[in-house]
Structure 1
Amino acid sequence: MAGHSKFKNIMHRKGAQDKKRSNLFSKLSREITVAAKMGMPDPDMNPRLRLAVNAAKAQSMPKDNIQRAIEKASGGDAEDYQEVRYEGYGPGGSAIIVEALTDNRNRTATNVRNCFAKNGGNMGTEGSVAHGFERKGLIEYPAGAGDEETVLMAAMEAGADDIESSDDGHTIWTDPTALHEVAGAMENALGEAESVKLAWKPNITVAMDEGSAGTLMKLIDALDDDDDVQTVWGNYDIPDEVMEKLG
Protein backbone atom coordinates (compact mmCIF):
# COMPACT_ATOMS: atom_id res chain seq x y z
CA MET A 1 0.00 0.00 0.00
CA ALA A 2 1.85 3.06 -1.23
CA GLY A 3 0.96 6.63 -0.35
CA HIS A 4 -0.68 7.58 -3.63
CA SER A 5 -3.23 4.75 -3.45
CA LYS A 6 -4.13 5.14 0.20
CA PHE A 7 -7.60 6.59 -0.31
CA LYS A 8 -9.04 3.61 -2.14
CA ASN A 9 -7.40 1.15 0.24
CA ILE A 10 -8.53 2.91 3.38
CA MET A 11 -12.11 3.08 2.13
CA HIS A 12 -11.95 -0.67 1.56
CA ARG A 13 -10.42 -1.30 4.96
CA LYS A 14 -12.82 0.75 7.08
CA GLY A 15 -16.18 -0.63 8.06
CA ALA A 16 -18.32 2.51 8.18
CA GLN A 17 -18.90 2.52 4.43
CA ASP A 18 -22.12 4.54 4.38
CA LYS A 19 -20.60 7.35 6.40
CA LYS A 20 -17.45 7.32 4.29
CA ARG A 21 -19.46 7.40 1.08
CA SER A 22 -21.53 10.37 2.25
CA ASN A 23 -18.33 12.14 3.30
CA LEU A 24 -16.74 11.36 -0.06
CA PHE A 25 -19.71 12.76 -2.00
CA SER A 26 -19.52 15.93 0.07
CA LYS A 27 -15.83 16.37 -0.79
CA LEU A 28 -16.43 15.65 -4.47
CA SER A 29 -19.31 18.16 -4.57
CA ARG A 30 -17.15 20.82 -2.98
CA GLU A 31 -14.39 20.32 -5.56
CA ILE A 32 -16.92 20.47 -8.42
CA THR A 33 -18.40 23.72 -7.08
CA VAL A 34 -14.99 25.33 -6.62
CA ALA A 35 -13.84 24.23 -10.08
CA ALA A 36 -17.03 25.54 -11.70
CA LYS A 37 -16.76 28.83 -9.82
CA MET A 38 -13.13 29.36 -10.87
CA GLY A 39 -13.82 28.77 -14.56
CA MET A 40 -16.56 27.93 -17.03
CA PRO A 41 -19.44 25.77 -15.74
CA ASP A 42 -19.00 23.53 -18.80
CA PRO A 43 -16.65 20.56 -18.19
CA ASP A 44 -15.61 20.58 -21.86
CA MET A 45 -14.34 24.15 -21.44
CA ASN A 46 -12.94 23.78 -17.93
CA PRO A 47 -10.22 21.10 -17.45
CA ARG A 48 -10.35 21.22 -13.65
CA LEU A 49 -14.12 20.83 -13.65
CA ARG A 50 -13.87 17.92 -16.08
CA LEU A 51 -11.42 16.17 -13.73
CA ALA A 52 -13.73 16.80 -10.78
CA VAL A 53 -16.78 15.49 -12.65
CA ASN A 54 -14.87 12.42 -13.85
CA ALA A 55 -13.74 11.71 -10.28
CA ALA A 56 -17.36 11.95 -9.10
CA LYS A 57 -18.56 9.62 -11.86
CA ALA A 58 -15.83 7.12 -10.98
CA GLN A 59 -17.30 6.97 -7.46
CA SER A 60 -20.83 6.48 -8.85
CA MET A 61 -21.99 9.87 -7.65
CA PRO A 62 -25.53 10.51 -9.00
CA LYS A 63 -25.80 12.84 -12.00
CA ASP A 64 -28.28 15.04 -10.13
CA ASN A 65 -25.73 15.61 -7.36
CA ILE A 66 -23.08 16.55 -9.90
CA GLN A 67 -25.38 19.00 -11.66
CA ARG A 68 -26.46 20.62 -8.37
CA ALA A 69 -22.83 21.11 -7.41
CA ILE A 70 -22.13 22.84 -10.74
CA GLU A 71 -25.23 25.04 -10.48
CA LYS A 72 -24.32 25.98 -6.92
CA ALA A 73 -21.24 27.78 -8.23
CA SER A 74 -23.38 30.40 -9.95
CA GLY A 75 -25.78 30.82 -7.04
CA GLY A 76 -25.52 33.53 -4.45
CA ASP A 77 -25.33 31.00 -1.62
CA ALA A 78 -22.09 29.36 -2.82
CA GLU A 79 -19.48 29.36 -0.07
CA ASP A 80 -16.17 31.11 -0.70
CA TYR A 81 -13.74 28.21 -0.35
CA GLN A 82 -9.98 28.65 -0.26
CA GLU A 83 -7.41 26.05 -1.26
CA VAL A 84 -4.88 25.38 1.48
CA ARG A 85 -2.08 22.86 1.91
CA TYR A 86 -0.63 21.53 5.14
CA GLU A 87 2.54 19.51 5.56
CA GLY A 88 3.75 17.37 8.39
CA TYR A 89 5.47 14.28 9.69
CA GLY A 90 3.76 11.01 10.47
CA PRO A 91 4.85 7.87 12.35
CA GLY A 92 7.89 5.95 11.17
CA GLY A 93 9.54 8.94 9.55
CA SER A 94 6.77 9.38 6.97
CA ALA A 95 6.01 12.70 5.29
CA ILE A 96 2.40 13.80 4.79
CA ILE A 97 0.80 16.44 2.54
CA VAL A 98 -2.82 17.43 3.25
CA GLU A 99 -4.90 19.36 0.71
CA ALA A 100 -8.06 21.11 1.86
CA LEU A 101 -10.85 23.39 0.69
CA THR A 102 -12.09 25.59 3.50
CA ASP A 103 -14.21 28.62 4.32
CA ASN A 104 -12.42 29.01 7.67
CA ARG A 105 -8.64 28.64 7.60
CA ASN A 106 -8.27 28.88 11.38
CA ARG A 107 -10.73 26.04 11.96
CA THR A 108 -9.11 23.79 9.40
CA ALA A 109 -5.56 24.47 10.56
CA THR A 110 -6.53 23.68 14.16
CA ASN A 111 -8.29 20.46 13.18
CA VAL A 112 -5.40 19.26 11.02
CA ARG A 113 -2.85 20.11 13.72
CA ASN A 114 -4.88 18.16 16.28
CA CYS A 115 -5.07 15.15 13.95
CA PHE A 116 -1.29 15.08 13.70
CA ALA A 117 -0.74 15.64 17.43
CA LYS A 118 -3.20 12.94 18.55
CA ASN A 119 -1.98 10.29 16.12
CA GLY A 120 1.79 10.18 16.42
CA GLY A 121 2.54 13.01 14.02
CA ASN A 122 3.65 16.61 13.98
CA MET A 123 2.40 19.34 11.62
CA GLY A 124 5.25 21.25 10.03
CA THR A 125 5.58 24.55 8.23
CA GLU A 126 4.81 25.14 4.56
CA GLY A 127 7.54 23.56 2.46
CA SER A 128 8.79 21.31 5.25
CA VAL A 129 8.10 18.10 3.32
CA ALA A 130 6.92 19.18 -0.14
CA HIS A 131 10.52 19.21 -1.38
CA GLY A 132 10.42 15.42 -1.13
CA PHE A 133 7.51 15.18 -3.57
CA GLU A 134 6.88 16.03 -7.20
CA ARG A 135 3.62 17.52 -8.49
CA LYS A 136 2.28 15.11 -11.11
CA GLY A 137 -0.85 14.12 -12.96
CA LEU A 138 -2.22 10.74 -11.86
CA ILE A 139 -4.45 8.42 -13.90
CA GLU A 140 -5.55 5.06 -12.49
CA TYR A 141 -7.09 2.13 -14.36
CA PRO A 142 -8.29 -1.20 -12.95
CA ALA A 143 -6.42 -4.37 -13.87
CA GLY A 144 -9.29 -5.30 -16.20
CA ALA A 145 -8.51 -2.37 -18.49
CA GLY A 146 -5.83 -4.47 -20.19
CA ASP A 147 -2.51 -6.20 -19.68
CA GLU A 148 0.62 -4.24 -18.85
CA GLU A 149 1.83 -4.05 -22.47
CA THR A 150 -1.54 -2.80 -23.75
CA VAL A 151 -1.80 -0.07 -21.12
CA LEU A 152 1.88 0.84 -21.55
CA MET A 153 1.46 1.35 -25.28
CA ALA A 154 -1.67 3.45 -24.76
CA ALA A 155 0.10 5.56 -22.14
CA MET A 156 3.16 6.12 -24.33
CA GLU A 157 1.05 7.12 -27.32
CA ALA A 158 -0.95 9.49 -25.10
CA GLY A 159 2.22 11.22 -23.88
CA ALA A 160 2.42 9.89 -20.32
CA ASP A 161 5.69 10.04 -18.36
CA ASP A 162 5.59 6.72 -16.52
CA ILE A 163 3.40 3.70 -15.76
CA GLU A 164 3.30 1.24 -12.88
CA SER A 165 1.30 -1.98 -13.27
CA SER A 166 0.41 -4.61 -10.67
CA ASP A 167 -2.33 -7.12 -9.91
CA ASP A 168 -4.31 -4.23 -8.39
CA GLY A 169 -4.31 -2.10 -11.54
CA HIS A 170 -2.37 0.46 -13.55
CA THR A 171 -1.00 3.80 -12.37
CA ILE A 172 -0.07 6.33 -15.04
CA TRP A 173 1.94 9.45 -14.22
CA THR A 174 1.97 12.58 -16.39
CA ASP A 175 3.21 16.13 -16.40
CA PRO A 176 0.56 18.07 -14.43
CA THR A 177 -0.03 20.48 -17.30
CA ALA A 178 -0.68 17.57 -19.68
CA LEU A 179 -3.04 15.59 -17.43
CA HIS A 180 -6.26 16.62 -19.18
CA GLU A 181 -4.84 15.88 -22.64
CA VAL A 182 -3.27 12.53 -21.67
CA ALA A 183 -6.40 11.40 -19.81
CA GLY A 184 -8.54 12.19 -22.86
CA ALA A 185 -6.27 10.22 -25.20
CA MET A 186 -6.20 7.26 -22.84
CA GLU A 187 -9.97 7.34 -22.47
CA ASN A 188 -10.25 7.00 -26.24
CA ALA A 189 -7.93 3.98 -26.15
CA LEU A 190 -8.98 2.20 -22.95
CA GLY A 191 -12.27 3.70 -21.82
CA GLU A 192 -12.97 5.85 -18.79
CA ALA A 193 -10.31 5.80 -16.09
CA GLU A 194 -10.99 4.84 -12.49
CA SER A 195 -9.39 8.07 -11.28
CA VAL A 196 -7.88 11.20 -12.84
CA LYS A 197 -6.39 13.89 -10.61
CA LEU A 198 -3.39 15.99 -9.67
CA ALA A 199 -1.16 14.25 -7.16
CA TRP A 200 1.94 14.54 -5.02
CA LYS A 201 4.37 11.75 -5.98
CA PRO A 202 7.11 11.03 -3.40
CA ASN A 203 10.68 10.98 -4.65
CA ILE A 204 11.44 8.13 -2.24
CA THR A 205 9.19 5.99 -0.03
CA VAL A 206 9.58 4.93 3.58
CA ALA A 207 8.78 1.34 4.53
CA MET A 208 6.42 1.05 7.51
CA ASP A 209 6.58 -1.69 10.13
CA GLU A 210 3.40 -2.96 11.77
CA GLY A 211 3.52 -0.59 14.72
CA SER A 212 4.18 2.53 12.68
CA ALA A 213 1.66 1.50 10.02
CA GLY A 214 -1.13 1.07 12.55
CA THR A 215 -0.59 4.53 13.99
CA LEU A 216 -0.22 6.02 10.52
CA MET A 217 -3.58 4.58 9.47
CA LYS A 218 -5.22 6.22 12.47
CA LEU A 219 -3.67 9.55 11.47
CA ILE A 220 -4.83 9.27 7.86
CA ASP A 221 -8.31 8.16 8.92
CA ALA A 222 -8.58 11.16 11.26
CA LEU A 223 -7.48 13.56 8.52
CA ASP A 224 -9.76 11.98 5.96
CA ASP A 225 -12.75 12.23 8.29
CA ASP A 226 -12.37 16.02 8.46
CA ASP A 227 -14.93 17.70 6.18
CA ASP A 228 -12.43 20.27 4.90
CA VAL A 229 -9.73 17.79 3.92
CA GLN A 230 -9.88 16.77 0.26
CA THR A 231 -6.83 14.54 -0.19
CA VAL A 232 -3.98 13.13 1.87
CA TRP A 233 -0.69 12.15 0.26
CA GLY A 234 2.31 10.45 1.81
CA ASN A 235 5.66 8.84 1.10
CA TYR A 236 4.85 5.70 3.10
CA ASP A 237 4.97 2.16 1.74
CA ILE A 238 3.12 -0.49 3.75
CA PRO A 239 3.97 -4.10 2.78
CA ASP A 240 1.00 -6.30 1.89
CA GLU A 241 1.64 -8.64 4.80
CA VAL A 242 1.48 -5.71 7.23
CA MET A 243 -1.78 -4.49 5.69
CA GLU A 244 -3.24 -7.97 6.10
CA LYS A 245 -2.37 -7.98 9.79
CA LEU A 246 -3.93 -4.56 10.26
CA GLY A 247 -7.11 -5.86 8.62
Structure 2
Amino acid sequence: MAGHSQFKNIMHRKGAQDARRARQFAKVIREITVAARSGLPDPASNPRLRAAIYAAREVNMPRDTVDRAIKKATGAGGGDDYVEVRYEGYGPAGVAVIVEALTDNRNRTASDVRAAFSKHGGALGETNSVSFLFNRLGVVRYPASVASADDMLEAAVEAGADNVETDADAHEITCAPDDFFAVRDALESRFGPPETAKLDWRPTMSVTLDEDRAASLLKLIDALDDNDDVQNVYANFDIPDAVMQKLSA
Protein backbone atom coordinates (compact mmCIF):
# COMPACT_ATOMS: atom_id res chain seq x y z
CA MET A 1 0.00 0.00 0.00
CA ALA A 2 2.85 2.37 0.72
CA GLY A 3 4.13 2.06 -2.83
CA HIS A 4 0.65 2.58 -4.20
CA SER A 5 0.15 5.64 -2.00
CA GLN A 6 3.50 7.04 -3.08
CA PHE A 7 2.60 6.48 -6.74
CA LYS A 8 -0.73 8.25 -6.24
CA ASN A 9 1.07 11.10 -4.51
CA ILE A 10 3.51 11.43 -7.41
CA MET A 11 0.66 11.36 -9.91
CA HIS A 12 -1.23 14.00 -7.92
CA ARG A 13 1.86 16.21 -7.75
CA LYS A 14 2.50 15.80 -11.47
CA GLY A 15 -1.15 16.62 -12.15
CA ALA A 16 -0.89 19.78 -10.06
CA GLN A 17 2.32 20.78 -11.87
CA ASP A 18 0.70 20.18 -15.26
CA ALA A 19 -2.34 22.25 -14.26
CA ARG A 20 -0.11 25.08 -13.04
CA ARG A 21 1.89 24.98 -16.27
CA ALA A 22 -1.33 25.11 -18.30
CA ARG A 23 -2.50 28.16 -16.31
CA GLN A 24 0.87 29.86 -16.83
CA PHE A 25 0.66 29.26 -20.57
CA ALA A 26 -2.92 30.58 -20.71
CA LYS A 27 -1.95 33.77 -18.87
CA VAL A 28 1.07 34.40 -21.11
CA ILE A 29 -0.98 33.78 -24.25
CA ARG A 30 -3.49 36.41 -23.09
CA GLU A 31 -0.67 38.92 -22.62
CA ILE A 32 0.76 38.06 -26.05
CA THR A 33 -2.70 38.56 -27.55
CA VAL A 34 -3.16 42.01 -26.00
CA ALA A 35 0.42 43.04 -26.77
CA ALA A 36 0.23 41.94 -30.42
CA ARG A 37 -2.97 43.93 -30.91
CA SER A 38 -1.64 47.02 -29.16
CA GLY A 39 1.03 47.57 -31.82
CA LEU A 40 2.83 45.85 -34.66
CA PRO A 41 3.10 42.04 -34.54
CA ASP A 42 6.89 42.38 -34.88
CA PRO A 43 8.58 42.18 -31.44
CA ALA A 44 11.40 44.44 -32.65
CA SER A 45 8.86 47.27 -33.09
CA ASN A 46 6.57 46.40 -30.18
CA PRO A 47 8.18 46.64 -26.71
CA ARG A 48 5.17 45.16 -24.92
CA LEU A 49 5.19 42.15 -27.23
CA ARG A 50 8.91 41.69 -26.56
CA ALA A 51 8.14 41.67 -22.84
CA ALA A 52 5.37 39.09 -23.38
CA ILE A 53 7.78 36.88 -25.31
CA TYR A 54 10.25 37.16 -22.40
CA ALA A 55 7.47 35.98 -20.10
CA ALA A 56 6.82 33.05 -22.43
CA ARG A 57 10.49 32.14 -22.30
CA GLU A 58 10.45 32.21 -18.49
CA VAL A 59 7.72 29.53 -18.39
CA ASN A 60 9.42 27.49 -21.14
CA MET A 61 6.65 28.01 -23.67
CA PRO A 62 7.60 26.52 -27.07
CA ARG A 63 8.40 29.06 -29.77
CA ASP A 64 5.76 27.68 -32.13
CA THR A 65 3.11 28.23 -29.43
CA VAL A 66 4.21 31.88 -29.18
CA ASP A 67 4.13 32.28 -32.96
CA ARG A 68 0.64 30.76 -33.19
CA ALA A 69 -0.63 33.12 -30.47
CA ILE A 70 0.73 36.16 -32.35
CA LYS A 71 -0.76 34.99 -35.66
CA LYS A 72 -4.14 34.31 -34.04
CA ALA A 73 -4.17 37.71 -32.33
CA THR A 74 -3.39 39.61 -35.51
CA GLY A 75 -5.37 37.47 -37.97
CA ALA A 76 -8.95 37.83 -39.13
CA GLY A 77 -11.32 37.51 -36.17
CA GLY A 78 -8.39 37.63 -33.75
CA GLY A 79 -10.09 35.58 -31.06
CA ASP A 80 -11.27 37.02 -27.75
CA ASP A 81 -11.04 40.72 -26.90
CA TYR A 82 -9.36 41.26 -23.53
CA VAL A 83 -9.31 44.43 -21.45
CA GLU A 84 -6.86 45.27 -18.68
CA VAL A 85 -8.32 45.77 -15.21
CA ARG A 86 -6.75 46.28 -11.80
CA TYR A 87 -8.33 45.43 -8.48
CA GLU A 88 -7.14 46.56 -5.07
CA GLY A 89 -8.09 45.48 -1.60
CA TYR A 90 -6.99 44.24 1.79
CA GLY A 91 -6.32 40.65 2.81
CA PRO A 92 -5.99 39.13 6.30
CA ALA A 93 -4.14 41.31 8.85
CA GLY A 94 -4.64 44.37 6.67
CA VAL A 95 -2.20 43.22 3.98
CA ALA A 96 -2.56 45.38 0.85
CA VAL A 97 -3.19 43.39 -2.34
CA ILE A 98 -3.06 44.48 -6.00
CA VAL A 99 -4.55 42.17 -8.64
CA GLU A 100 -3.88 42.71 -12.36
CA ALA A 101 -6.18 40.92 -14.80
CA LEU A 102 -6.91 40.55 -18.50
CA THR A 103 -10.55 39.69 -19.05
CA ASP A 104 -13.20 39.36 -21.74
CA ASN A 105 -15.94 39.79 -19.11
CA ARG A 106 -15.43 42.48 -16.46
CA ASN A 107 -18.50 41.48 -14.44
CA ARG A 108 -17.39 37.85 -14.14
CA THR A 109 -13.84 38.74 -13.15
CA ALA A 110 -14.90 41.37 -10.61
CA SER A 111 -17.33 38.91 -9.05
CA ASP A 112 -14.72 36.14 -8.86
CA VAL A 113 -12.06 38.42 -7.37
CA ARG A 114 -14.51 39.86 -4.82
CA ALA A 115 -15.58 36.34 -3.83
CA ALA A 116 -11.96 35.26 -3.33
CA PHE A 117 -11.28 38.23 -1.04
CA SER A 118 -14.45 37.61 0.97
CA LYS A 119 -13.88 33.87 1.35
CA HIS A 120 -10.33 34.30 2.67
CA GLY A 121 -10.78 37.09 5.19
CA GLY A 122 -10.22 40.11 2.96
CA ALA A 123 -12.22 42.86 1.32
CA LEU A 124 -12.07 44.30 -2.19
CA GLY A 125 -11.62 48.08 -2.20
CA GLU A 126 -11.83 50.92 -4.70
CA THR A 127 -9.25 51.64 -7.38
CA ASN A 128 -6.19 53.33 -5.82
CA SER A 129 -7.25 52.25 -2.33
CA VAL A 130 -3.91 50.49 -1.71
CA SER A 131 -1.62 51.32 -4.65
CA PHE A 132 -0.25 54.31 -2.72
CA LEU A 133 1.51 51.72 -0.52
CA PHE A 134 3.55 50.51 -3.51
CA ASN A 135 6.02 51.90 -6.03
CA ARG A 136 5.59 51.01 -9.71
CA LEU A 137 8.99 50.00 -11.09
CA GLY A 138 10.65 48.37 -14.04
CA VAL A 139 12.79 45.48 -12.78
CA VAL A 140 15.53 43.68 -14.74
CA ARG A 141 17.42 40.79 -13.16
CA TYR A 142 20.70 39.18 -14.28
CA PRO A 143 22.73 36.36 -12.72
CA ALA A 144 25.68 37.72 -10.76
CA SER A 145 28.04 35.84 -13.09
CA VAL A 146 27.35 38.02 -16.15
CA ALA A 147 29.31 41.03 -14.84
CA SER A 148 31.02 42.56 -11.84
CA ALA A 149 28.97 44.83 -9.61
CA ASP A 150 30.89 47.88 -10.91
CA ASP A 151 30.39 46.96 -14.57
CA MET A 152 26.67 46.36 -14.06
CA LEU A 153 26.27 49.63 -12.18
CA GLU A 154 28.06 51.54 -14.93
CA ALA A 155 25.95 49.92 -17.66
CA ALA A 156 22.71 50.47 -15.77
CA VAL A 157 23.44 54.15 -15.16
CA GLU A 158 24.27 54.63 -18.85
CA ALA A 159 21.01 52.88 -19.77
CA GLY A 160 18.96 55.26 -17.57
CA ALA A 161 18.26 53.00 -14.59
CA ASP A 162 17.68 54.41 -11.10
CA ASN A 163 19.26 51.73 -8.92
CA VAL A 164 21.24 48.48 -8.92
CA GLU A 165 21.38 45.98 -6.05
CA THR A 166 23.92 43.17 -6.29
CA ASP A 167 24.35 40.12 -4.08
CA ALA A 168 26.06 36.75 -4.46
CA ASP A 169 23.31 35.46 -6.75
CA ALA A 170 22.12 38.31 -8.93
CA HIS A 171 22.07 41.90 -10.10
CA GLU A 172 18.67 43.59 -9.80
CA ILE A 173 18.27 46.78 -11.79
CA THR A 174 15.28 49.06 -11.20
CA CYS A 175 14.01 52.03 -13.18
CA ALA A 176 10.97 54.19 -13.80
CA PRO A 177 8.19 52.41 -15.73
CA ASP A 178 8.53 54.79 -18.69
CA ASP A 179 12.23 53.89 -18.97
CA PHE A 180 11.76 50.13 -18.61
CA PHE A 181 11.95 49.04 -22.25
CA ALA A 182 14.91 51.32 -23.05
CA VAL A 183 16.83 50.11 -19.98
CA ARG A 184 16.07 46.45 -20.66
CA ASP A 185 17.08 46.69 -24.33
CA ALA A 186 20.30 48.57 -23.55
CA LEU A 187 21.34 45.99 -20.96
CA GLU A 188 20.42 43.11 -23.24
CA SER A 189 22.60 44.51 -26.01
CA ARG A 190 25.55 44.40 -23.61
CA PHE A 191 24.90 41.33 -21.43
CA GLY A 192 22.45 39.22 -23.41
CA PRO A 193 18.89 38.28 -22.39
CA PRO A 194 18.11 38.95 -18.70
CA GLU A 195 16.94 36.30 -16.28
CA THR A 196 13.70 38.24 -15.82
CA ALA A 197 12.43 41.63 -16.99
CA LYS A 198 9.06 43.01 -15.95
CA LEU A 199 7.04 45.88 -14.56
CA ASP A 200 6.48 45.33 -10.86
CA TRP A 201 4.66 46.76 -7.85
CA ARG A 202 7.07 46.99 -4.90
CA PRO A 203 5.68 47.72 -1.40
CA THR A 204 7.04 50.70 0.51
CA MET A 205 6.23 48.94 3.81
CA SER A 206 5.43 45.35 4.77
CA VAL A 207 3.14 43.60 7.26
CA THR A 208 4.82 40.77 9.21
CA LEU A 209 2.52 37.76 9.54
CA ASP A 210 2.22 35.01 12.14
CA GLU A 211 1.42 31.42 11.12
CA ASP A 212 -2.39 31.68 11.11
CA ARG A 213 -2.54 34.95 9.20
CA ALA A 214 0.16 33.83 6.78
CA ALA A 215 -1.80 30.65 6.02
CA SER A 216 -4.96 32.69 5.36
CA LEU A 217 -3.17 35.16 3.12
CA LEU A 218 -1.45 32.45 1.08
CA LYS A 219 -4.84 30.80 0.51
CA LEU A 220 -6.16 34.11 -0.83
CA ILE A 221 -3.16 34.54 -3.14
CA ASP A 222 -3.49 30.94 -4.37
CA ALA A 223 -7.20 31.46 -5.07
CA LEU A 224 -6.45 34.61 -7.06
CA ASP A 225 -3.59 32.96 -8.96
CA ASP A 226 -5.86 30.05 -9.88
CA ASN A 227 -8.25 32.44 -11.66
CA ASP A 228 -7.61 32.32 -15.40
CA ASP A 229 -8.31 36.06 -15.76
CA VAL A 230 -5.71 37.07 -13.15
CA GLN A 231 -2.25 37.85 -14.54
CA ASN A 232 -0.37 39.07 -11.46
CA VAL A 233 -0.90 39.39 -7.70
CA TYR A 234 1.17 41.71 -5.49
CA ALA A 235 0.95 42.09 -1.71
CA ASN A 236 2.92 43.90 1.02
CA PHE A 237 3.54 41.04 3.44
CA ASP A 238 6.56 39.48 5.08
CA ILE A 239 6.55 35.89 6.36
CA PRO A 240 9.47 35.05 8.70
CA ASP A 241 11.55 32.03 7.66
CA ALA A 242 10.51 30.05 10.75
CA VAL A 243 6.83 30.56 9.95
CA MET A 244 7.35 29.66 6.29
CA GLN A 245 9.08 26.41 7.31
CA LYS A 246 6.10 25.45 9.48
CA LEU A 247 3.67 26.18 6.65
CA SER A 248 5.77 24.15 4.19
CA ALA A 249 6.03 21.14 6.51
Compute the TM-score of the two structures, normalised by the length of structure 1: 0.87
| Cα distance, 1:191–1:244 mapped onto 2, change above 3 Å | farther
Structure 2 counterpart SS, 1:73: helix
Offset at residue 187 of structure 1 (A): 1.6
Aligned to 2:50: 50
Aligned to 1:192: 193
| Cα distance, 1:57–1:116 mapped onto 2, change above 3 Å | same
| Cα distance, 1:137–1:104 mapped onto 2, change above 3 Å | same
Offset at residue 145 of structure 1 (A): 4.0
Offset at residue 205 of structure 1 (A): 1.9
Structure 2 counterpart SS, 1:172: strand
My pick for the range that moved more, 101-110 or 54-63, is 54-63
| Cα distance, 1:213–1:166 mapped onto 2, change above 3 Å | farther
| Cα distance, 1:118–1:164 mapped onto 2, change above 3 Å | farther
CA distance in 1, matches of 2:22, 2:160: 35
5 Å matches for 1:71-220? 71-75=71-75, 76-146=77-147, 148-166=149-167, 169-220=170-221
Offset at residue 171 of structure 1 (A): 2.7
Offset at residue 155 of structure 1 (A): 2.5
Aligned to 2:17: 17
Aligned to 2:6: none
Give CA deviations for 1:187-244 in whole Å, capped at 9, x if unaligned. 2333211221212122222222222211111111110000000001111122233222
CA distance in 1, matches of 2:233, 2:35: 19
My pick for the range that moved more, 199-208 or 228-237, is 199-208
CA distance in 1, matches of 2:192, 2:180: 16
| Cα distance, 1:165–1:56 mapped onto 2, change above 3 Å | same
Offset at residue 146 of structure 1 (A): 4.7
| Cα distance, 1:36–1:77 mapped onto 2, change above 3 Å | closer
CA distance in 2, matches of 1:39, 1:27: 19
Compute the TM-score of the two structures, normalised by the length of structure 2: 0.87
CA distance in 1, matches of 2:180, 2:138: 5
Offset at residue 164 of structure 1 (A): 3.2
Structure 2 gaps of 5+ residues are 1-13
Aligned to 2:228: 227
Give me the CA root mean square deviation: 2.1
Percent of paired sites with the same residue: 54
Q: Which has the larger radius of gyration?
A: 2
| One-letter code aligned to 2:212 | G
| Cα distance, 1:186–1:219 mapped onto 2, change above 3 Å | same
5 Å matches for 1:235-246? 235-246=236-247
Structure 2 counterpart SS, 1:16: helix
| One-letter code aligned to 2:153 | L
- Matched residue pairs, number? 235
CA distance in 1, matches of 2:131, 2:20: 27
| Cα distance, 1:162–1:114 mapped onto 2, change above 3 Å | same
Offset at residue 166 of structure 1 (A): 4.2
Structure 1 counterpart SS, 2:74: coil
My pick for the range that moved more, 25-34 or 149-158, is 149-158
CA distance in 2, matches of 1:166, 1:120: 36
| Cα distance, 1:83–1:17 mapped onto 2, change above 3 Å | same
